[in-house]
Amino acid sequence: MEYTVKSGSPEKQRIGCVVVAVYNPRKLSPSAKILDKACDGMISNLIRRGELEGEIGQSLLLHNVENTLCDRILLVGCGKEKDISTSNYRKINSTMVSVLKNSGATEIASYLTEVPVKRRDITWKIRQSIEAIDAELYQFNQLKTDQKPPRRPLRKFIFSVSGRGQLMDGEVAVRNGMAVSTGIQLAKDLANLPGNVCTPSYLAKHAIAMEKQYPKVKTTVLEEKDMQKLGMGSLLSVSRGSRQDGKLLAIEYTGGDKKQAPIVFVGKGVTFDSGGISLKPGAAMDEMKFDMCGAASVLGTLSACAELQLPMNIVGIVPTVENMPDGLAIKPGDIVTSMSGQTIEILNTDAEGRLILCDALTYAAKYDPDVVIDIATLTGACVVALGAHPAGLLGNHNPLINDLLNAGQTSGDRCWELPLWDDYQEQLSSNFADIANIGGKGAGTITAACFLSRFTKKYHWAHLDIAGVAWSSGKQKGATGRPVSLLMQYILDRLEDSTSNK
């Protein structure tokens, strides 16, 4: 998809379709009023007759409107003008695309950028529009034999800005939006691949390909023998049950000064999770291919950073394994030794994500990081607690927590803080080892984070539990690409802060 920005009056746009807003109840936006005046009140007459109330999700497509140069005009309902939220703005753009993708129009001029959203500027609206448009158009057809693209697919969106003074900011927003959206799509593509294709070796090959694609990216792949030398007994205990060798990927993007401490992202990469000896129920087990969505989001985020050539240092660490019930698989009651030297009693082999993350988090200390953020589809308890809207957030550094919360609000890819109190640590006590890998029935998301916190005492750390937001089930089953948008907003906010402080 091609995106660009332009200033100009809507009735003068010689294009396939011009898109304007209508607010509830039956109120025309400024651009809709201009079009209405050009066509001698045709639009307002239709609105008065009840063709469109202006509610979110409504639309009305008009053809060959007199005294305009466009082929079509699409009126999109936006709800009450003063109550348009981040999520509603995305829904408005999604409605636009759902109508237009089969309309025959190929080039679109969108005036939805004039829709007011509290405390959001034109650059924010352009970025959100691009993400919403690409999300609506996304399809995963790589493994289908019959791939029929639309006869006349959408190929270009032009976002309206109010004057030439906004053109430069608009162009920057387009560039950022396209990079973030491409990162989201990469995360979706990797996660949607089946477990027999997207294996630890597949992720390693993709990480190596990134090194070839981007000059500032360096990829290191640790094989099982390398991890054995480092003492990663916790991670290796999970991979033992699979015929696919486990790996640890370290992708370094060096866009900043050599002395700049990096932001480190650690993404859980369980390419298929059977539960191991503690076998999961068969229903919906196919969705356990999504247990590597944390890894996918790290790769998507790094790809976006490299595409934008951001002047920052960022490291992505991906511990990647399969969790299978082979004869060599770990058993409940087994005790393993982590890279940190702490011993872990395995009470449930389906709590494997924390076993691979803890060694990766210990490994992260070698980069002398500014902050470390791990991203993982870690606990079903997070889905119970928060549902499918925010990711769970816990950590040991309040400024980092606040930065992520704010980035979530800005991006619309939200997270919600849960307490990481010492009181919960007692649930991880073991009679036979330093720590147990589960903490009982209560507060599962919190005790999982408590487990990880034992390995993050050397740096500022935050944990994102994305179990409820990483994919959708049911008819629209598929990866969401979250939290790439959140992570990229966090990075861009950090970049903006560092630039303004100079």
Displacement of CA 174 from its chain's centroid (Å): 18
Q: Where are the alpha helices (DSSP H) in 387-431?
A: 398-411
pLDDT in the model for residue 502: 59
CB atoms within 10 A of CB 275: 18
**pLDDT > 90? residue 497:** no
Contact status, residue 265 vs residue 375, Cβ threshold 8 Å = yes
Q: Is 0.75 topped by the overall pTM?
A: yes
**pLDDT > 80? residue 495:** yes
Name which of 42, 119, 111 is nearest 84 in CA terms: 119
* C-alpha separations of 372 from 5, 208, 263, 437 in Å: 36, 22, 6, 21
pLDDT in the model for residue 379: 98
Q: 461-465 and 371-376: which strand pairing?
A: parallel
Contact status, residue 49 vs residue 79, Cβ threshold 8 Å = no
Confirm or reject CATH 3.40.630.10 for domain 193-500, answering yes or no. Answer: yes
Give the SS3 label for residue 391. Answer: strand
pLDDT in the model for residue 146: 82
CB atoms within 10 A of CB 421: 10
pLDDT in the model for residue 316: 98
Contact status, residue 320 vs residue 227, Cβ threshold 8 Å = no
Sign of CA dihedral 410, 411, 412, 417: negative
| Distinct helix (H) and strand (E) counts, the chain | 14, 21
Distance CA 303, CA 2 (A): 19
Name which of 21, 30, 14, 6 is nearest 158 in CA terms: 6
Element (H, E) at 185: helix 167-192
Name which of 448, 224, 237 is nearest 331 in CA terms: 237
> What is the token pair recorded at 150?
């639309």
137-196 residue pLDDT tens = 999 999 998 877 767 899 999 999 988 889 999 999 999 999 999 999 999 999 999 999
**Over residues 415-422, mean pLDDT:** 98
Query: CA dihedral in degrees (414, 131, 256, 404; nearest 10)?
Result: 0
Distance CA 209, CA 204 (A): 9
Distance CA 15, CA 34 (A): 16
**pLDDT > 90? residue 264:** yes
* C-alpha separations of 455 from 197, 369, 382, 396 in Å: 32, 14, 21, 11
**Over residues 390-419, mean pLDDT:** 98
Where in the sequence numbering do the catalytic residues fall? 280, 354
pLDDT in the model for residue 284: 93
Q: How high does pLDDT run on average in the chain?
A: 96
**Over residues 443-470, mean pLDDT:** 98
Q: What angle do CA 200, 278, 374 make, to 5 degrees?
A: 45
Under the banding of pLDDT at 50, 70 and 90, the label for residue 337 is very high
pLDDT in the model for residue 273: 98
Higher pLDDT, 142 or 368: 368
**Over residues 35-62, mean pLDDT:** 96
Q: Where are the domains of the chain?
A: 2-139+150-179, 193-500
Under the banding of pLDDT at 50, 70 and 90, the label for residue 287 is very high
**Over residues 239-267, mean pLDDT:** 97
Contact status, residue 302 vs residue 217, Cβ threshold 8 Å = yes
DSSP state of 389: S
**Over residues 237-247, mean pLDDT:** 97
Q: Which CATH class for the 2-139+150-179 domain?
A: alpha beta
pLDDT in the model for residue 102: 87
Contact status, residue 325 vs residue 236, Cβ threshold 8 Å = no
